[in-house]
Amino acid sequence: MFFIKYLRTLGFDATNDIFAEHAWYFRNALVRANYTDLKNGVHETTEYLELFLKNLLLNEENELHNRTMHVSGKFNNLQKADIGEGKADIGEGKADIGEGKADIGEEKADIGEEKADIAIKIANIDEAINSKTRSNILALYQHCGKETFFGRTVVESVTGLKATRASEVLQLLLRNNIIEKVQGHGKGKYRFL
């Protein structure tokens, strides 16, 4: 609101339409303009903020996607999922347990496509969801898998979310075809696809 008022004092005809449509992007662009992580070679950049302002002030039509702002260029918080001794590299959708083999005895290593699939599906959901929500979804999937039916109370117990937020997560998963409703097992039961 203050930014719009400031722009109007400078003679720009600014409205809040672009802010309403791309609020999450604008917030993340401000963060990236001020974020530095020298240890990992990440430096602050105003390029995303500039794209937003070009759309606002110059009527350009640059695409504004949160995923382009991720530090690694990919969904960095989903690139690795812990699976015992090894790690699954989700970035390219392939399982990678490192150079050496994990000591798993007689059992097969659990590095199948299922865990990679769910992370890829999550990476393709709404760009507006945060890393905490993504990790909650992964925790729920690891707890339930594809065979177990679950409801809101299971989501609450696995993730620690309150009832309202757990319901929102379920709706998000339904909208993005990651879970489906299950009939015949009680009201409000779902399973992962």
Residues 121, 55 within the same domain: no
For 26, the token pair is 């604008």
pTM assigned to the model: 0.40
Cα 27 to chain centroid, rounded: 16
For 58, the token pair is 């110059």
Write out the H or E segment, with its range, that includes residue 83: strand 80-83
The enclosing domain of 85 has a CATH number of: 1.10.10.10
Q: Are 49 and 33 in contact (CB under 8 A)?
A: yes
Overall number of domains in the chain? 2
Residues 170, 130 within the same domain: yes
Question: Which residues lie below 8 Å from residue 89, measured CB to CB, with a gap of 6+?
Answer: 79, 80, 95, 96
Q: Are 27 and 52 in contact (CB under 8 A)?
A: no
CA distances, 142 to each of 73, 104, 161 (Å): 25, 19, 16
What residue numbers bound the domain in which 121 lies?
Answer: 78-96+110-192
Residues 83, 65 within the same domain: no
Residues 58, 143 within the same domain: no
**Is the model's pLDDT at 192 over the cut of 90?**
no
Nearest one of 57, 44, 73 to 6, comparing CA atoms: 57
- pLDDT, position 103: 54
pLDDT digits (tens, 9 = 90+) for 95-121: 454 555 545 555 544 444 555 567 777
Residues 58, 83 within the same domain: no
pLDDT digits (tens, 9 = 90+) for 26-66: 899 998 889 888 887 888 889 988 998 898 888 888 888 88
Residues 64, 82 within the same domain: no
Question: Do the domain assignments include residue 103?
Answer: no
